[in-house]
Amino acid sequence: MTATEIGVVEAIARYPVKSMRAEPLQSADIRWIGLHGDRQYAFVRADNRSRFPWLTGRAVSELVLYRARYDDPEDPRNAAVRITAPDGADFAIDDPALLDRLSRAAGEPVSLIQVGRGCFDLMPVSVVSTATRDALTARRATPVGLERFRINIIIRAHPGIGRESDWLGRKLQFGDAADGPRLSLGMGIARCAMVTIDPETAERDPSMLRTVAQDFDNEIGAYGSVETQGIVSVGDRVRLVAPGG
């Protein structure tokens, strides 16, 4: 197997509720359907019958400021979920008061769903290289955090290794074990208005999407399909495996 060490895992993020704030993790259980517990819940526009019924930050910017957490982070399948609103109010995820608050913000009825395999737009695991952060910062002439792109795994790439877009068609091997977790990178992640929303303030900056579209072919991050399950941890070594490896 031809493999090149390209960096280490810098950060891992799980999103218990679609479009709400990330839950930072030191280790994640990577399963066939992605990070265990990632985007297991979502709020939907109850009367919407389109192919995209989700209530997201695109409709209600402040949704990205809501913090979701599992009472038992090791057992997201069965754990209760609590939601803390931007003003500090705390709710059980199915609290009618929370549904009422979100419905009023959306201007239409909102309901809750739970999907064990995750409420994903396209594919279950996303990765990005810190080289992309550096390129965005250079282009914008101001620090750009990767949090607004809602990525699962951030890889601190060694100098000269390149961006995740340079790794498409190959595989990422995590950790030192030969049978450790492995992702196959299939495609870049096309971006939408969600990237204009500051994850700390919920303020919108349309110029961010213009930068991504004009200078990054409208793609930040890469989607990976799971080839080998296992635990990925912050600090794990990451190797790039050639096609067929």
Higher pLDDT, 6 or 242: 6
- The per-residue pLDDT for 40 is 95
pLDDT in tens, 12-25: 999 999 999 999 99
Q: Residue 195: name the closest of 183, 177, 211, 217 by CA.
A: 211
Residue 245, pLDDT > 80, answer no
Three-class HEC string of 216-232:
CCCEEEEEEEEEECEEE
pLDDT of residue 93: 97
Q: What confidence score (pLDDT) does residue 77 get?
A: 92
Q: Which of 129, 152, 197, 203 is nearest to 34 (CA)?
A: 152
Tokens of 168: 């498409």
DSSP for 175-243?
A: SSSTTS-EEEEEEEEE--GGGGB-TTT--B-HHHHHHHHHHSTTEEEEEEEEEE-EEEETT-EEEEEPT
Question: Average pLDDT for residues 52-65, to the nearest whole number?
Answer: 94
Mean pLDDT (whole number) for 211-237 = 97
User: Would you mind telling me the total number of residues written for the chain in this entry?
Assistant: 245
Q: Taking the model in full, what pTM does it have? A: 0.94
What does the pLDDT look like over 89-144, one tens digit per residue? Answer: 999 999 999 999 999 999 999 999 999 888 888 788 999 999 999 999 999 999 99
Q: Quote the pLDDT of residue 244.
A: 66
Q: Per CATH, is 3-241 categorized as 2.40.33.20?
A: yes
Structure tokens at 145: 């955090």
Is the pLDDT assigned to residue 1 strictly greater than 80? no
